[in-house]
Every structure is written in C-alpha cells, then in structure tokens.
Amino acid sequence: MKHVLGLGLVLLLSSNCAAYAQFNRAASNFTLQGPAEQGGSVVKDATGKNCLDVEAAARPQTVNREMLDHVVSLKNNCSRTIKVKLCYYNSDSCKQFDVQAYKRVDTILGTMRGVSLFRYTLNQK
C-alpha cells in the first residue's frame, strides 16, 4: 500500500487501484470514499457529462466518535429530475429518492461502529 501525503490529505493506493482519501482536521476526521459502483445506465447531459456529482464520506458522530455515519451527497447538474437508488455494495440495504434539477441531496446510507471504508452502488434513471 502506498501513502501519499500533502497538506493534511492522505491518499492510500492499494494494489487493486482503489483510492481512498482521509482528511484530518482538529475537530473531525472524514474518510472520503472511492467512486460508486454503477448499477446500470448513467444519466448524461447533452455534452456527454454525467449529470450527477457523487461524493461519499464516513463521518464520526459528535457524541460517540467510534460511530461513523456513511454520508453520500448527490448534486444534479442537469435540467431534469433523476431517480436514484443508493445501496451498500451487494446488499439490500438501500435508499431511494429523486434528485431535482440543479439540486443537491445529502443522505446517510447507514451508521456503523468503526467502519470507515464502505462500498456503495448507485442506480439512476
């Protein structure tokens, strides 16, 4: 495993090319996740860019820092509503919602003790 350091950002590159970044601040520790596994077609705009910007992070809770919320943020950069199904990878633990045109949706996929890295799938229509 290779560690790359710079300005409070730690990038971990493993042999299977998965990348995870951890950003440390005095008040909080966020563990940014790799990209979502796509579970079908991807909605694109007229120029061929993906409509959804997706970010995911494990965020410690304030009271009990061992409990980590798995937060996923979706920003729709297109002029149409996108239906989303967000799941843990190979799991039936899912959330479904609509991301309105030019809006952002932040959701907690789940909460786990001590699990800072998670995989998730994203289906969009």
What pLDDT, in 10s, does the model give residues 68-102?
999 999 999 999 999 999 999 999 989 999 999 99
Greatest CA separation found in the chain?
Answer: 45
Model pLDDT for residues 33-42, shown as the tens digit of each residue: 888 888 778 9
pLDDT at position 38:
80
What's the pLDDT at 23? 40
Q: Fill in the amino acid letter for 2.
A: K
Q: What tokens appear for 114 in the block?
A: 């001590």
Q: Taking the mean position of all CA atoms in its chain, how far away is CA 110?
A: 12
* Model confidence at 4: pLDDT above 70: no
Structural domains of the chain in order of their starting residue, each with its CATH number: 26-124 (2.60.40)
Contacts of 56 (CB under 8 A, 6+ apart): 32, 33, 36, 70, 71, 72, 73, 109, 118, 120
The verdict on pTM exceeding 0.75 is no
- Give the pLDDT confidence score for residue 77 in this predicted structure: 96
- Asked if the model's pLDDT at residue 6 lies above 60, the reply is no
Q: What is the 3-state secondary structure (H, E, C) of 42-84?
A: CCECCCCCECEEEEEEEEECCCCCCEEEEEEEEEECCCCCEEE
Tell me which residue has tokens 């633990």.
Answer: 93
pLDDT in tens, 9-68: 333 333 333 334 444 443 457 888 888 888 778 999 999 999 999 999 999 999 999 999
